[in-house]
Structure 1
Amino acid sequence: MYQPIWDISSWDVMGYESFFRSDWNSNPEEVFQSAMKTNHIYELDTKSIIKAASTFHRVYETNKTMLFLNIFPSTMLNPEFFSFIEQLIHQTTISCQHIVFEINESEKIENTQLFLEAMLRLKNYGFLLAMDDVGKGETSIQKLFELKPDFIKIDKYFSNDLSFSDKKQKFIRFLVDVCKDHGKVILEGIEKPEDLAAAKSLGVPIAQGFLLGKPDKMEFS
């Protein structure tokens, strides 16, 4: 499934985030938790990435939008990961500059230095990077400065009733200001028009959520 991500200053779709779905289990989180428990998270993560890219390439050939791919930190630190990256580059027509690896914050980054080196190698290939669920997971402002992601995705908690919450508005305004030289902010979980309007007034450049489009299969003409 793919969900559109909107540039709310120009009202253009700037990319799509891919979501894993399975007929075997309707809860993707349970599938990945099961893979973690059986030490198969690397295999599931990389196969999911290949599937998402191979399905998306037909859309990419039409409009050259970005593809956001979720990835676990442990996958990036796996010894076989960069052999996989070479395989991905040769198997897809999507340019590296249009693929954003979205780092899953549900898994702790155990070795920051090794992780920084893996991020730098990905950037050297031309890939872009995003930190997911900022404000909820492990990411601190210090870590944002250290990791220097291209996109900072703010957790959906902060978009829920944003228009009524002074504290959430102050937090969003702070992040937009402090991150303006360190990556583009994306606010996730937009479901109400008034919260979208509040996000735009706070200077949020990019937004995502059910109001702007639900995850769905790609339609090909």
Structure 2
Amino acid sequence: MYEGEYVALSCAQCVQAEGLDFDFTFAFQPIVDLDAGRVTAHEALVRGTAGESAGEILGRVTDANRYRFDQACRVKAVKTAVTLGLDCDLNINFYPNAVYRPELCIRTTLQAADTYGFPAERIVFEVTEAERIEDTQHLVDIIQCYRKLGFRTAIDDFGAGYAGLNLLAEYQPDYIKLDRQLIAGIDARPAKQAIARGIVQVCRDLGIGILAEGVETAEEFAWLRDAGIRLFQGYYFARPALGALPEVPPARYAG
């Protein structure tokens, strides 16, 4: 079998989610931009079809089905976003350890964007820092490949996982998303404030955007806004909605 035939077969299997003995869907949560004064993206968050948590679904992902799950997630996220009429950016999480050859594995995503009529340049790939990265250079190669194709990238859960600032020394994503653990109660925690200010300065020096995720209170939002952060996500703005695009009251993100 020629490589092209193998890739075509693999893509068809991923679209059909063959090899998965469970189904899943997505909840969507908005990302707001203070400078734009509106929702500029939604993150697709995996859920069970009956509303089961992400943890319950991800707990069924194994080494044997990780590749198919990762690829099926991309396809279903794009399809669902189009069905819901998403007209802004779409943030999709991916497993770096499930990407064997980025130039081949990305074809399923490109095909889905073309099939469902979603602009590929609106897709932002998020890599969670909580997943152990076995080969940092492999991750860098993935990011570089995605950038050449016009995709943007973000590090999710920044500060909660295995890499931290060391990862930024190897590559600079378009965005980092500050972890909820750092943000919780930051308005009253000087130590957290000092760490956040340091990260903000580093990202400014490197030209990296910062998104505060998991913001739940007006006090957290006010402190982070005053610290110069302009992108936000969290319950304070809107909870994830299963199979829907929740709205954010404009007063919530008045800059």
Q: Same fold (TM over 0.5)?
A: yes
Q: Distance in 1 between matches of 2:61 and 2:182?
A: 30
Q: Distance in 2 between matches of 1:150 and 1:202?
A: 19
Letter in 2 for 1:22: G
The structure having more radius of gyration, on CA atoms, is 2
In 2, are the aligned partners of 1:15 and 1:67 still within 8 Å (CA)?
yes
Q: TM-score, length-normalised on structure 1? A: 0.89
Q: CA deviation at 1:148?
A: 1.0
Q: Distance in 2 between matches of 1:141 and 1:129?
A: 16
Q: Distance in 1 between matches of 2:245 and 2:134?
A: 39
**1:110-125 correspondence runs (5 A):** 110-125=134-149
Gaps of 5+ in 1: none
| 2:94 is the alignment partner of 1:71 | yes
In 2, are the aligned partners of 1:191 and 1:211 still within 8 Å (CA)?
yes
Q: CA deviation at 1:87?
A: 2.2
Q: CA deviation at 1:186?
A: 0.4
Q: CA deviation at 1:138?
A: 1.6
Deviating above 6 A after TM superposition, structure 1's stretches of 4 or more consecutive aligned residues are none
1:214 corresponds to which residue?
239
Q: Distance in 1 between matches of 2:164 and 2:128?
A: 14
Match of 2:224 among 185, 188, 199: 199
In 2, are the aligned partners of 1:75 and 1:81 still within 8 Å (CA)?
no
In 1, are the aligned partners of 2:214 and 2:235 still within 8 Å (CA)?
yes
Deviations 1:13-59 (A, max 9, x none): 1110011111367132232232225x111111211221111111255
In 2, are the aligned partners of 1:149 and 1:182 still within 8 Å (CA)?
no
Q: In percent, how many aligned pairs have the same letter?
A: 26
Query: Matched residue of 1:179: which SS?
Result: helix
In 2, are the aligned partners of 1:32 and 1:41 still within 8 Å (CA)?
no
Structure 1 range deviating more: 166-175 or 190-199: 166-175
Q: Taking structure 1 as reference, are residues 77 and 109 closer, same or farther at Cα in structure 2, changes over 3 Å only? A: farther
Q: Distance in 2 between matches of 1:209 and 1:179?
A: 21
Q: Distance in 2 between matches of 1:45 and 1:19?
A: 13
Q: Distance in 2 between matches of 1:132 and 1:73?
A: 12
Aligned length: 217
Over the residues paired in the alignment, what is the CA RMSD in angstroms? Answer: 2.1
Letter in 2 for 1:90: D
